[in-house]
Amino acid sequence: MNHNLIPLNDELSVNGGIPSDLLAVQVRLWELLAKQTARYTMGDSSSIPIELANELLSSICFTLGVDLSNPDTLKSLLNDDLEELFKIGLSSIKQKIDIGKQLWEEAWLSIPAIENISLRDTLNGIGTFFKRYDYRYFAHTIPCDIDYQLCNPVPETLLGVEYVNEYLRRLIIEHDFLQRFDPQLCIQILECYCQDYKGLLINLFEPIATNAIGLSLIGCSVFKLDVLEAERKQVVEILKPLSKGKCIELLCRAAERTCLNLGIRHEKAKQYMISLSSELYPRIQAAMSSGSMGKIFISVS
């Protein structure tokens, strides 16, 4: 996201700003940008490339927590002491970095005993993020590679440490879920799902969680993970006559039951499972009509 002044201008106009207010906001942000530039160049340079100025401005807006969709933005930018707000923003980012480091350790500690190169590379990469992250000047950036795909991706609207922390929170939910199953059983399912599950950029959680939801839907133990052909037919028998809304409702309930059976109590983790189950519907519907349910609910036999 680029917090340059023209979009800022547009957004604020939409939110009822008057031209003189916009000018005042621009001047205040410009002054803060000038101070940040002087700090960045340590007073050695009176000018900087436009690209760099835009980056510094984006970082300022991120640090100030400027939410362009919020009508109160204009009020805050006009009336509050921006330098003070900026300092508060920086200390808040610092706290988020500390939280992120804890989350990163937790993600390593909860990593499932399933080999996957991109998962480990990504966690290593996030380790370097905390070394490279220059929150004073480039707080909105993510200076590391995040290759491992989550089942439920982090919204692109999040930036900097906020993105990384949310990524880690979601990853921990996935790890915690996988930890509740026999790793050998998970590996068997993953081998059937994708032969090169170790090397390819696949998500480890999704096929396992999908099978667990399927088993929960037909009232089987989620711990066996393996969905037999007969059990897939049962899933079809249950879902086929139902409307879309009813199907999604049943899948969501199955996800809730899965959490209950696995002893997952954390609300965010439950919501994560429910979000997967509601996204399953279009895939299940397509598979039911093409008779390829075996690609959704994996069988090891």
Partner 1 sequence: MNQQFSIIPVQMQMANTLKELEACNDISEQFGLCLTTDQMIRLAKTRFRALENAGRVEFGEGILKKLIYRFCDSPYLMQNNYEDSLSELQEIFYYFKNESMEKLSDDELIDAMKNVFDGKAQGSIEYLSGTSLENLCRIIRGGAIEEEIEIDEEDYES
Q: How many residues bind partner 1 (CB under 8 A)?
A: 24
- CB 274 within 8 Å of CB 255: yes
User: Is 1 an interacting residue with respect to partner 1 (CB under 8 A)?
Assistant: no
Tell the smallest beta-carbon distance from residue 29 to partner 1 (Å): 9
Choices 51-59, 87-95, 173-181, 269-277 (CB under 8 A): range interacting with partner 1: 51-59
Angle between helix axes 82-109 and 117-132 (nearest 10 degrees) is 150
Say which residues have a Cβ less than 8 Å from residue 273's Cβ, sequence separation at least 6. Answer: 177, 209, 213, 255, 256, 258, 259, 264
User: Is 5 an interacting residue with respect to partner 1 (CB under 8 A)?
Assistant: yes
Tell the smallest beta-carbon distance from residue 23 to partner 1 (Å): 7
Say which residues have a Cβ less than 8 Å from residue 137's Cβ, sequence separation at least 6. Answer: 36, 39, 40, 55, 56, 59
Site for partner 1 (CB under 8 A): which residue of 37, 118, 122, 141? Answer: 37
- Give the residue with the Cβ less far from partner 1, 77 or 151: 77
Task: Give the phi and the psi of residue 110 in degrees, each rounded to 5.
Answer: -100, 10
The whole-angstrom separation of Cα 174 and Cα 257 is: 17
Choices 29-37, 159-167, 183-191, 204-212 (CB under 8 A): range interacting with partner 1: 29-37
User: Is 102 an interacting residue with respect to partner 1 (CB under 8 A)?
Assistant: no
User: Is 14 an interacting residue with respect to partner 1 (CB under 8 A)?
Assistant: no
User: Is 45 an interacting residue with respect to partner 1 (CB under 8 A)?
Assistant: yes
Tell the smallest beta-carbon distance from residue 24 to partner 1 (Å): 10
User: Is 46 an interacting residue with respect to partner 1 (CB under 8 A)?
Assistant: yes
Report in angstroms the alpha-carbon separations of 22 from 10, 274, 291.
10, 43, 59
User: Is 50 an interacting residue with respect to partner 1 (CB under 8 A)?
Assistant: yes
Half-sphere exposure of 70 toward its Cβ, with a 13 Å CA cutoff?
Answer: 8
Site for partner 1 (CB under 8 A): which residue of 53, 61, 259, 269? Answer: 53
